[in-house]
Amino acid sequence: MCYSSQIQAEFRRFEREYGASISIERFVELFWHQRRTGGWQRIPRALRKAFAESAESNAAIVSDGDKEQANRFEAEIFQQRGRLAEAERTLATRSTKKAEADRRIATDKIARAQQNLADLQHSGLGDQDRRVFPGYYAPVIISQGGRRVVVPMRYQCRLPGWTEVDERKRPGTYNARRDNLERAWRALFGHRHGVMVITAFYEHVPRHKAERRALLPGEAEESVILAFQPRPPQDMLVACLWSVSPGGEGEQDLYSFAAITDEPPPEVAAAGHDRCIIPLRPEHVDAWLNPEAADLAAMQAILDDREPLYFDCKLAA
């Protein structure tokens, strides 16, 4: 599975290099909705920056949203410091399991909130600011009226007809296995295709496989996160499927997507992972974005004729 990806988020680059216009209306709706529902952190910082740079009014939305998020982190730090102080007062006179647990939990939550606050306020952009995890939002290129358009979508697809309850029962729909496209994904394959532009992807793999060795006697299996990046570094046009679920009264529609995965190339398999995203050749993008439901063989041929990339892998920072 594609555990997370490092996205390309710059609006001008989508317009200049990929001939795609930006659906500003959808981005505005998303940003307001995430502010209102407390999902601000699900929008990667690189995407917030790109949106802020697109217009002065959008910069104000992002600035206010960042301030609201900072206030939440500061409130969490204040609350947990009180919890920590109370636990330490108790432990100064007697040891109890509750006080020990409160001290541990409060210490962890303070550290996490402080790190989140620092990440929110630091200048510049790092790789972490471009990371998209399941449940996060990413820009996806789709076709509307024969034109390439960039729409923000959640990285976890809600299939047609599903409810939130259905989706909670099947949390792995951020990836669509190629060998299942014409069964589980038949409502979207051949109908709604998209492209996510990324520069790297990340996977959980067993440490011993990443180190290309057998488990040692008595060694417990341990998971590590590897970053896979094409050599030479470049954008990858990842084949995706997408869906739109109507929102309830007063709610916005949910646009969501899944990256298609297939058998891995030798270097990814050798690093310990059994799936890989499918990078499209640029010359196939328009055909992919405008599929013929009656000719799925043509779509499969596009997935076969993928961009020939070699992936370097390293432990993720």
- For the chain, what are the domain ranges? 4-24+126-315
Residues 6+ apart with CB under 8 A from 151: 23, 26, 139, 140, 142, 255
pLDDT computed for residue 237 by the predictor:
97
Token pair 């471009």 is found at 130
- Report the topology of domain 4-24+126-315: hypothetical protein yedk fold (3.90.1680)
pLDDT computed for residue 87 by the predictor:
95
Q: Residue-wise over 166-187: b if at least 16 C-beta within 10 A, else e? A: ebeeeeebbbbbbeebeeebee
- Cα 80 to Cα 39, 76, 83, 88, 105, distances in angstroms: 21, 6, 5, 12, 9
3-state secondary structure of 250: coil
Count of CB atoms within 10 A of residue 51's CB? Answer: 25
The encoded tokens of residue 87 equal 């636990």
- Cα-only R_g, the chain: 22
The pLDDT averaged over each successive group of 10 residues in the chain (317 residues) is 76 93 94 92 94 92 94 96 96 94 96 92 86 95 96 96 91 95 97 96 89 87 92 96 86 93 94 93 97 96 96 87
pTM: 0.91
Taking the C-alpha atoms of residue 17 and residue 81, their distance in angstroms, rounded to an integer, is 49
- My answer on whether omega of the bond before 134 falls inside 30° of 0, hence cis, is no
pLDDT computed for residue 206 by the predictor:
87
Backbone angles phi, psi at 36, to 5 degrees: -70, -35
pLDDT computed for residue 219 by the predictor:
86
pLDDT computed for residue 3 by the predictor:
66
pLDDT computed for residue 122 by the predictor:
84
